[in-house]
Structure 1
């Protein structure tokens, strides 16, 4: 990795060619900088960024917005190439490691090439995956993964074609083997596609946006690096020190209390109490006393006075979960407490001042409850000083591998089996099998993170004392019910099988198209990726990547330095020859 000498942007993928930094202000190498901007060779500073991101915008079917300058508000709207103003949000395909014999690699990722020939190669030694926090940028490296690459082709429509090598590592996508190639639609890529390589590695093909790919906040007690989690952390940081009421909305099991704790820990009240209350568990008959306190003897059983939850949280944060379950009478008192900063303890003559920051959470449809008269609109609006949406687990599938590893690590340590997730010897299988992680990725998780945590606990209880989790142990039955009920997913028809083509016909088509694969593939009636696969497997069809310095220099000398003529002599495309010349630092 290297940094632009001008703006400090870190380049994650480099081909050695000269370019400019994502801020448009200096030279750097071709790649994707840590700010998430794809960079490459350009004729002018502004032209480079606009050309590359305009291609991404076309690929994503979304408006392009010019990249931000360092230090400017990340949400500032900027003028797009086509006119108008839009937020910067350009999805592009990414591969994330969801399972690997070395647990440290889980979460590493690499963007797919979405311009030029659109090819991304992944093998044991090709295609580096970088840790989002930096410090590592390496290929898969597992010795049981073939050196023959898996090829991924990102199309302009947003689809991705996966092409396997017949002599390479077997690949399964969504549990089904890929024989030759398979095309995944833009919708499938957005939802996430699990790719199981052999029985060792699982990659998740998914998409991210420009602003959530690069460096982002971590920690806060939250696990995950998806776009949804990145934006959630940023919003938590933004609102934590503002003493406003926050309403957390999300399905059951998404971790709303963890978000509330993160808000408290970053606030000016961090050294004061954090009190958590589940309103669904508070009986209606005692709700007022539980929340606001009571005087001694104010009702039967009140042998001592109580300060209530508001009093216990004085100076700190009060978290009211399941706020939609609050009785209507209590809602009136809550609204008064929020507006006046006072509570009325049961049995006391005067109200009591309280200094509490309130965070509420719900998975209920409060708007519908308001229409039905079950929730007061005034309280709803008062709670919505700031609203945070927490995405369900099925919408952030790239976090599942990290979350599973997190819960397994914790459960194995508690059961005194910490070595189960250590990198195994080459002749051993990992304790956590790839097929299981692939199945976990395909599951819809109606119980969200809580359900995933329960699965990790079950795995450790049943198989923590074994060398590996067995394939016939019944674990996969957890996912069979979901497979029957999962909603239909938009599918692209499979790529047509490559008909029998002689090398003579292929060479003739390549020659006719000046050795450019794309028009040659069209002439042959096959996909571009299929032609690439044929070229890679053929020992006789010339490949620019196999050319050495001497052969290129001889061809250039014979053509008086004309690169186009030299490419024709070498039987490769002009573009491929220029790339190879750049790699060898020729001319």
Structure 2
């Protein structure tokens, strides 16, 4: 799309959280189809050129044209949407007003009370605002960068977000090299998927890909599991044992939750990266290995290194090339596409399990899609996938996909609605632990998904102080405190979904996964 220099002076230039860095980038008012009777149209987008050039743009059955990534475009073309347009108008430099005007299209903006016009602020538009037309089509109005040219390979990463396109470009740049890679992003953003994409497009794709979650390892066994052990090295070592490094020799080793590595593991990882050699436990002779290392974390390793919890030289070695994954909040424009992708997968699986012909999947209601767009998605894409699966299973006998009330309550939308910008709150001053009430502690735990370090940062106290408060107040526990019978019952009720188990048991998901792994559960 040709946008001349005069138009470019009218677009929003803002400092925002890019998938790789903080950068100044021009953003354009863009409508993205989240739901449409023709499901294949979900993900199409339209840059509102008239809104930039003339200060107003029509939205109707016939305007604007929405383009797929392949480049062809067409209007919404839904008979239930009026040809007489709803109008989007600029107010001031950054705000947009959505006006009903003379259109008889049923208009709903972000589930607000019915009105003749809706004022949308810059902050709301940076986050994305759902607009529903005639209870059939759901659009997301959002300031977005100009779409990049379509990637020749999506690397298995579904979505049209420009921030996701940046991730794909970085995968393409690094995949063919031998450098270690550090993948960073919140839990559930797809770090292992990115690691597999790098491996599958590397020169080692015919060799092994070994995935290890360091958070699920017991510290006492981690060194032997990673680097191997010689017979007699410790009690129970009845024979030589190859570790994960030897299993990945010639191929790729993916270390998830690298921030959970013990000091001993960190020291041996550093040596392996620097020399290409490992020392199995009980051995005085090095073993030469050729392993491409990919690590991933959602932890703040820089802060951890400042507090000597993570070795700075290892951080430098791992971060020679980094890929930053956007949260689902940052790529809200992909929610419609991702939900339908996961729902179709589950629909196919459901009927294959029943050995039935696969009928056409029912669509989601517009109200339900708006609800999905309103959530803050702390569990990111993994949480959305789990929700899609449950919605399909719960709706298999219904005319439309519907979200059950119990599931809605578990999704826990942000208290302030969906306009949850991703910047963290400013660092608090340190507080005295005895000034914190039980209610404040409980709220902080829920806000931070029961992760103690994040809870400590929100409260302005140390992690050790959070432990002390958990012991002082009744009703709190960690994953190690849960009895095996309760754990088994919850695992069965939640079908092994640790996201749902976390909210039901109210303990850290990382700790829960570690406990389940130790007990032999498939996680």
TM value normalised by structure 1? 0.66
Shift of 1:93: 0.7
CA contact (8 A) 2:364 2:400 kept: yes
Shift of 1:147: 2.1
**Aligned equivalent of 1:60, options 7, 13, 31:** 13
Structure 2: tracts of 5 or more residues without a match: 422-523
CA contact (8 A) 1:409 1:418 kept: no
**Aligned equivalent of 2:379, options 447, 456, 459:** 447
CA contact (8 A) 1:407 1:456 kept: yes
1:99-498 mapped onto 2 (5 Å cutoff):
99-113=35-49, 114-134=51-71, 136-155=72-91, 157-210=93-146, 212-216=147-151, 218-416=153-351, 431-470=363-402, 475-479=407-411, 481-484=412-415
CA contact (8 A) 2:259 2:301 kept: yes
Does the residue aligned with 1:394 lie in a helix, a strand or coil? coil
Distance 1:340 1:470 in 2: 56
Distance 1:60 1:367 in 2: 29
Distance 1:488 1:325 in 2: 32
Which deviations, in whole Å up to 9, do the C-alpha atoms of 1:402-458 show, x marking residues without a partner? 110111011111001886655xxxxxxx53111111110110001111111110111
Structure-2 change in CA distance of 1:139 and 1:381 (3 Å)? same
Distance 2:283 2:403 in 1: 64
Shift of 1:316: 1.1
Structure-2 change in CA distance of 1:88 and 1:60 (3 Å)? closer
Does the residue aligned with 1:142 lie in a helix, a strand or coil? coil
Does the residue aligned with 2:182 lie in a helix, a strand or coil? strand
Does the residue aligned with 2:154 lie in a helix, a strand or coil? coil
How many aligned positions are there? 411
Structure-2 change in CA distance of 1:421 and 1:119 (3 Å)? farther
Shift of 1:304: 3.5
Shift of 1:485: 5.5
Distance 2:155 2:103 in 1: 45
Does the residue aligned with 1:55 lie in a helix, a strand or coil? coil
Which deviations, in whole Å up to 9, do the C-alpha atoms of 1:58-93 show, x marking residues without a partner? x4368xxxxxxxxxxxx9xxxxxxxxxx98821011
CA contact (8 A) 2:10 2:53 kept: no
CA contact (8 A) 1:125 1:139 kept: yes
Name the counterpart of 2:5.
Answer: 50
Structure-2 change in CA distance of 1:307 and 1:93 (3 Å)? same
CA contact (8 A) 1:273 1:317 kept: yes
Shift of 1:178: 4.4
Structure 1 stretch displaced more, 460-469 or 379-388? 460-469
Structure-2 change in CA distance of 1:126 and 1:483 (3 Å)? same
Distance 1:161 1:384 in 2: 44
Name the counterpart of 2:25.
Answer: 89
CA contact (8 A) 1:275 1:312 kept: yes
Name the counterpart of 1:516.
Answer: none
Shift of 1:464: 1.8
Shift of 1:190: 0.7
Structure 1: tracts of 5 or more residues without a match: 1-31, 39-48, 63-74, 76-85, 423-429, 491-587
Which deviations, in whole Å up to 9, do the C-alpha atoms of 1:226-252 show, x marking residues without a partner? 121011111111111121111111111
Shift of 1:217: 5.0
CA contact (8 A) 2:376 2:420 kept: no
Shift of 1:489: 6.7
| Stretches of 4+ aligned residues off by more than 3 angstroms | 59-62, 212-218, 417-422, 469-479, 485-490
Structure 1 stretch displaced more, 164-173 or 184-193? 164-173
CA contact (8 A) 2:14 2:27 kept: no
CA contact (8 A) 1:164 1:178 kept: no
TM value normalised by structure 2? 0.74
Structure-2 change in CA distance of 1:240 and 1:173 (3 Å)? same
Does the residue aligned with 1:161 lie in a helix, a strand or coil? strand
Which deviations, in whole Å up to 9, do the C-alpha atoms of 1:87-129 show, x marking residues without a partner? 8821011000001111100000100124432332222233211
Greater radius of gyration (CA):
1
